[in-house]
Structure 1
């Protein structure tokens, strides 16, 4: 039998150990190829597909990420697989095979797997590229859909790139093969294990790090996000590492001393084995928990960004479009009748129309130590518009006072305190305003413009002292079904003289651009998150099958002393479930505090979106667990 034939037989005989590695590698190749097929698509390269350039650079970055991910993932899976074959290598050495010949055998095996994964990945990528192009065409809302094409350059780059990648990884792993003596290889699985120990000081360190990281997450705001992100990551990662390497062992050692629980049915066997399994798998569980946190946080961020984009746009643009005319009874931008004519001709239904007189002012901003521009409005106008909007309560301003309205939601600016007095000027008229407090949400489309709400009587007094040219009028229009009225809004925009278009604000075009960008971000994020999910599940799968021979020996011993298959299935299911779901639970906790940070930074409620993401990932984890348990139980019970 030739070495090539022997390598092929080994791959066929160990398919249960290779299958997760093969499928994960195939998936990586497929995703890389699908992205490459779009990047090098003739229509994209030649600029014939509208809006495709917006995501081409993003997909190129994803390609680099897939390559980096594939390198470390395949390197780990190869190392885990070789570790599980120590006894096999010992037998081959005992039969006279040299270290060089063993390395040659492993090289052929890895080459077979690499070629099979590349061929399968490109084949599936070709099948799914049409679906991928259709989805992108829908997300980009292009007039000419992206046609299906077999992109030769993408095939060559994918095949050559991944073949080189797999071969480089193979060379890395070959250096570990053949170093041990034959007797060590044969007895690797039978070496007695020392009772795991733990350090109370390191347990305390893990608790302190996690509590400190979570505490910082709770107080993180937009202003402190950049400053606190790295310390939070450092504390959580360190705390998680010692949580699995120290605290988990301490917990199960404590369970061993809890006799009422420990000596109940099969708990003694389950707990005693888990003490050793957690010690052996601590680093893997640590990495899986971090990967789970990354998957949940990244997926949640993409999904929240996608779902909350429209609400944020509505906060910044309360009206579909608005026109601000300088001076009273002047219509330099556009005549109201012209606006009405365009809306009527297009059959547009108007939800409401807002007309509001305001007074531009300049005031001294103590926080910035410079003069800033703002607008005075009457209490009646503010309350009238607030009644149309959700989440805004009416206000009652005392005479001689003002309420400060910061234009953005959240905590961008909290410098205004009740009782502060600011000096301002409206035209040539000096003003002194005593503030009753601050609210953070605008009622008009004046982007970034701060508002001061005055008592009606005081506003009328100030307005009476100013000439008409020192005032302005705000016209706001909220349209029904505004998402589909981009053409109508553009007609109105085009009627306004070029030099005066700074007084026109609308949200429809920004909504369409934002929807496209957020949908593409979510689309790409799902692919990348799923790739990381496959990695985390496969790490557990590889680790389980690394210990397969040892568990098979224990299974045979337990069967001899009378333990039933049902009891063994229960023990094995519980142990595999702990290894699968404990890291996931830790990842959920980490991600929950990440959602707190995300909610503070984005000034939106993220929990309803976060729970959807957690539920979906949990369902995927459950399916992965059931498939892994079935494969593991079938293999472990095949030895009688």
Structure 2
């Protein structure tokens, strides 16, 4: 029998085990290919050159994230499957195959998995490319019609990149096989992975993990001012390290305590599933930590999407709040402007004063907006259009007026003064009315007349040549320079889906693959008369424990990650936390049920007399 024929037999025999890996890889290739196709096929040809260039830049960023995920996913899955295959490879040694030929056999089998994954991903990507483009354009509100077009460059680059990653990881697996002895090959798949550390060491490890994790939470919600970016990096590192230590310390301690408590262990049919978890804990806790971190990334990605989408709407509001804004020196020019402007839905007048290259407006003129009233020694900054601020402490915007220090109590990032707030090159502050009247006499003030018209395209008969006009700001309905920002939300949603599927795939792959190593044990248990209901209960508890534990840890950490985002963005994200966690919970329950059914079919497929 040739190596190719043997590899084909192995592949067909293990195709059920490879299912989750092929599905997750094919989905990632599907997403990656469609982003490549969006970039190179001309599907977004209706956009302006500037917007198209910026969208392509965002696509490149997303592709880098997908590549990093693909590397980690393939490396993890290859390690899991290689470990389960080593016993089989050890048998081949006794049949006369050298380690070199076994590694080639492994390479051929891996190549088959890669070919099926890439073909499934590219084929589905091609079939659904037009639908993908339509969904992308619709969610992103690009205002164009997506074209159906397939780029051969996208096909070639996707295939080359995937096989480069897959080939390098396969070579690493071949090297591992060649370095393994026969004993290592035969015992690898059933090696006892129980964590043998003492209880004191595990408790210490858990305490250190909790301390590091809570340090990360502290830096995540800390008002950092200029240091907010550094705080975010510290929080990220601490959460990853703390999560790893908690899973590596507290979880083994908890399960070993459960195992040593015979009364607890023997009641409610806990013996089998607790012992199984303890037996494979060394590898399992790493998988749990990886899944938990991926789920936190998924929630954070979705939170970023909602945050940035809200900020984009706020940015667009600067140019949509008023149709025309007129600066004038005359406080009584309202009647003059009303005669020369179309019928209005809304009009307001805001006094404005300048001092030391700063603009000031009284609180009473903007009190209809949701901002606090400043005291005489306080002020509020009206920010320009920004996606995210690197400041979380408004006091850094404090200023002076006539030798009096004004403490900034709020940084308002929504449109209050429309165009003027965004277009002025100097900061604009809201101050107390009495302070404004005290510092700025009538002859030092400008007056901002704001108008919103009933018609779609008003005919404006006023220009800067008018003696009553100092400056004029007018809405440009054809301005599409910020259309590209709408795609950020779409990218974040796709990343949320990819991370979620990746996390559940890792749990499924690990549990389903381990179940094949338990077939003989479960057959023996059935032979000695253990009730199938007990075995089914054990399978349900073992699978659900792993999914439930990761969901619990993810909920806690994702709450603090969204709090950090909320501070940076200045927007509450409580609804995002609830929505994202509900989606993840429903998806994990579905995956848990599928995993339970798959493991049951593997372990209890035949009745043993």
TM-score band (shorter)? 0.7 to 0.9
CA distance in 1, matches of 2:242, 2:153: 46
Query: What CA deviation, in whole Å up to 9, does each residue of 1:242-295 have, x standing for no partner?
Result: 111111111223334555533312123333332233333111111111111111
64-73 or 98-107, which deviates more: 64-73
Q: 1:474 to 1:41 in 2, by over 3 A?
A: same
Q: Is the 8 A contact 2:543 2:596 kept in 1?
A: yes
Cα drift, residue 22 of structure 1: 1.4
TM-score by length of structure 1 reads: 0.81
- Which residue in the other structure is 2:66 paired with? 66
- Which residue in the other structure is 1:529 paired with? 496
The 3-state SS of whatever aligns with 1:232 is helix
* Mapping for residues 224-373 of structure 1, pairs under 5 Å: 224-258=227-261, 261-307=264-310, 309-310=312-313, 319-321=321-323, 323-328=325-330, 335-340=337-342, 350=345, 352-356=346-350, 358-362=351-355, 371-373=356-358
CA distance in 2, matches of 1:614, 1:7: 42
- Which residue in the other structure is 1:450 paired with? 429
Name which of 471, 474, 479 aligns with 2:445.
Answer: 471
- Which residue in the other structure is 1:428 paired with? none
Alignment RMSD: 3.7
Q: Is the 8 A contact 2:40 2:151 kept in 1?
A: yes
Does the alignment pair 1:560 with 2:553? no
Name which of 528, 539, 556 aligns with 1:589.
Answer: 556
Cα drift, residue 68 of structure 1: 3.3
- Which residue in the other structure is 1:107 paired with? 107
Does the alignment pair 1:16 with 2:9? no
Cα drift, residue 157 of structure 1: 2.5
Cα drift, residue 131 of structure 1: 0.9
Does the alignment pair 1:488 with 2:457? yes
Name which of 381, 387, 412 aligns with 1:406.
Answer: 381
Cα drift, residue 580 of structure 1: 1.9
Which consecutive unaligned segments of at least 5 residues does structure 1 have? Answer: 344-349, 363-370, 425-431
Which consecutive unaligned segments of at least 5 residues does structure 2 have? Answer: 384-388, 422-426
Q: Is the 8 A contact 1:244 1:278 kept in 2?
A: no
- Which residue in the other structure is 1:368 paired with? none
Flag the structure with larger Rg: 1
Cα drift, residue 476 of structure 1: 2.1
139-148 or 207-216, which deviates more: 139-148
CA distance in 1, matches of 2:251, 2:407: 54
The 3-state SS of whatever aligns with 1:79 is helix
CA distance in 1, matches of 2:168, 2:498: 21
- Which residue in the other structure is 1:572 paired with? 539
- Which residue in the other structure is 2:386 paired with? none
Cα drift, residue 443 of structure 1: 4.6
Q: 1:444 to 1:165 in 2, by over 3 A?
A: closer
CA distance in 2, matches of 1:113, 1:184: 25
CA distance in 2, matches of 1:244, 1:160: 37
Q: 1:100 to 1:241 in 2, by over 3 A?
A: same
Query: What CA deviation, in whole Å up to 9, does each residue of 1:331-368 have, x standing for no partner?
Result: 79x94433325x6xxxxxx1x32123x25131xxxxxx
The 3-state SS of whatever aligns with 1:355 is strand
- Which residue in the other structure is 2:29 paired with? 29
Q: 1:149 to 1:230 in 2, by over 3 A?
A: closer
Cα drift, residue 93 of structure 1: 1.6
The 3-state SS of whatever aligns with 2:448 is strand
The 3-state SS of whatever aligns with 1:360 is strand
- Which residue in the other structure is 2:158 paired with? 158
CA distance in 1, matches of 2:85, 2:172: 17
